[in-house]
Chain A
Amino acid sequence: MDGLITLLPQLWVAAWETLYIVGLTLLLGGFGGLIAGLGLYLTRAGSILANRPVFGVLNVLVNTIRPIPFIIFLAAVQPLTRAVVGTGIGNNAMIFTIALAAMFAMARIVEQNLLTVTPGVIEAARSVGAGPVRIIFTVLLPEALGPLILGYTFIFVALVDMSAVAGYVGGGGLGAFALLYGWRQFDPVVTWAAVLLIIIFVQVVQFLGNRLARKALRR
């Protein structure tokens, strides 16, 4: 317990780092995932921009990258990370990698949520002369908003999970904190303090996500 008290300043820094990494990756990966998910949805057979080659490439890409365990993915894309971020280690390299992985995970979730929109509603929009861009912004996204919010809430947890690995490449956050001060120093109290904070984060975000989704779905 004394160990934890002396480590409190580091714990707060770690907590903020986790929030920073998760927040930024949610923004970047979430946006990338939205684009990729829309791409999958719009190009699939029978959809408004049906395009077999584009769908095929996107589909295979998502299926290939999504199942790679994150810690392996982290190492595998390091050359790309170095090229884009300038370094393969630290928080920014971590953010790039997590955002990339999150994008592919999110793409599937977005695609699935968009598929819940009744095709008839899209047909109704087409019947009054709406084009694809208008349909995306006035039909698809608003109609699927509730499930999309829940999807983003879901991916938040996956992001917290991925961010915990940051410690391996010189990044910070609660994962690195628990590894460094809890696991390596045989102090379970410190480890559990990090766990507790993560639980609080997840609870708060899930609560907010549920509320927003309920508002969007009006139930």
Chain B
Amino acid sequence: MTAQTPLVELRNVSKVYPATVKGAPDVTAIDDVSISIDAGDVYGIIGYSGAGKSTLVRLVNVLERSTAGQIFIDGRDVAQLPERDLRPVRLGIGMIFQQFNLLNSRTVARNVAYPLEVAGRDKAERTKRVAEMLDFVGLADKAGAYPDQLSGGQKQRVGIARALASSPALLLADEATSALDPETTNEVLELLKRVNREFGVTIIVITHEMDVIQTLATKVAVMDQGRIIERGDVFDVFSNPQQAASARFVSTVVKGLPSRPELEVLRGRHSGRIVTLAFRSDTVDQTQVFGELSRDGIAFQVVYGGINEIQGRPFGHLTLALTGDDVTIDAALDRVRALTTVTEVR
């Protein structure tokens, strides 16, 4: 195995569900997706519900069968493996779920022990590993409790302990924080960060929540209608989305760009011209931009905007209302255009 082999690689993978009603068209859940995930990555897959994210992640551990394409796990194509041969593959892939999916008939400790039982580890080893895992997730005192006695955050921590018990190299997180309140979400995200850092576990995070991508992911793919429409470093995709659909998606979670109705309100309130400026910490100097605008005595007012931070790098958009004569404003905007992206809203 060379260092270059990605841990997970999907090549032209599709998943088509046959029509449920005769005569209706087949449903394409995943449409010719290729993606490559390196060991150590935290790869976020973001999109609206129904975009195919959950199906995509289930193709990776073959809980669902792809209808076309190849799926390589550690260099081995698993897409067509028979169910029996998939079991050892799945032991190397942990999974956590939105609804936690713990066994209510088992205690916390026995839930965590479950994958180890499946793997055929002996009792002494199971006991030792369960204690280690519960310690790691901070639930050593809950070993004898049943899932219905735990809070949502605790349940998900048990889910994480269970998913990691068999020491997988890959963890699939399917909307793992979507059922949790914001505070608990942060706890779970911190825990997942530690999973990645301390155990070197590669994580694929399926989510529709910006916070999750922002705190956790290093790379992101945006899904829409079963296709990956954009991918790259988290900062690049969120600060400068290339596709209209991903920009629309990003704008619902990144505060900074006014929505259409918000624009109407702004235009009603401000008589001047309205422009939106994009800021990225590494390329644009805010001081310089505002310096250019104020130099010719243009009056401006920040009417909308926000600066976000991803992986320690700020970016964002500010919408300004400018007042002054058109010629001066045009000249100033031309100079600002040399510095950053300017969008005039008419």
Interface residues of A (CB under 8 A from B): 118, 120-121, 123-131, 134, 138-139, 142-143, 145, 216, 218
Contacts and interface: CB of A to CB of B under 8 A. Distances in A.
B101 to A, nearest CB: 4
B86 interface: yes
18 contacts: A121-B102, A123-B97, A124-B95, A124-B162, A125-B118, A126-B63, A127-B61, A127-B172, A128-B90, A128-B94, A128-B95, A129-B87, A131-B83, A142-B103, A142-B105, A142-B106, A218-B146, A218-B148
**Residue with the highest number of chain B CB atoms closer than 10 Å, among A123, A127, A142:** A127
B117 A118 contact: no
Interface in B85-116: 86-91, 93-95, 97, 99, 101-106, 114-115
B101 A128 contact: no
Contacts of A124: 95, 97, 101-103, 162
Nearest to B148: A218
Contacts of B94: 127-128
B63 A123 contact: yes
Nearest to B119: A129
Please classify how large the interface on chain B is, using the bins under 10, 10 to 19, 20 to 34, 35 or more. Answer: 20 to 34
A120 B103 contact: no
A138 B117 CA distance: 10
A159 B281 CA distance: 77
B128 interface: no
A134 B116 CA distance: 13
Contact of A120 (B86, B101, B148): B101
A143 B102 CA distance: 10
Q: SS class of chain A's interface: helix, strand, loop or mixed?
A: helix
Interface of B: 61, 63, 83-84, 86-91, 93-95, 97, 99, 101-106, 114-115, 117-119, 146, 148, 162, 166, 172
Contact of B118 (A130, A216, A218): A130
B115 A145 contact: no
A132 B304 CA distance: 57
B9 to A, nearest CB: 20
Contacts of B106: 142
Nearest to A216: B105
Q: SS class of chain B's interface: helix, strand, loop or mixed?
A: mixed
**Residue with the highest number of chain A CB atoms closer than 10 Å, among B95, B104, B119:** B104
A145 B101 contact: no
A142 B95 CA distance: 22
**Residue with the highest number of chain A CB atoms closer than 10 Å, among B103, B104, B105, B114:** B105
Contact of B90 (A118, A126, A218): A126
Nearest to B105: A142
B90 A129 contact: yes
Given A120-B99, A218-B148, A127 B90 contact: yes
B103 A143 contact: yes
A120 B118 contact: no
A144 to B, nearest CB: 9
Contacts of B88: 129
Contacts of B84: 131
B119 A138 contact: no
A138 B99 contact: no
Nearest to B149: A218
A131 B84 CA distance: 8
Contacts of A126: 63, 90
Nearest to B86: A129
Contacts of A128: 90-91, 94-95, 114-115, 118, 162, 166
B33 to A, nearest CB: 20
Nearest to B97: A120
Contacts of B114: 125, 128, 130, 138
Contacts of A138: 103, 114, 117
A121 B103 contact: yes
A129 B101 contact: no
Contacts of A139: 103
Given A127-B95, A131-B83, 13 more contacts: A120-B97, A120-B99, A120-B101, A123-B63, A124-B103, A126-B90, A128-B95, A129-B87, A129-B91, A129-B118, A138-B117, A142-B105, A218-B148
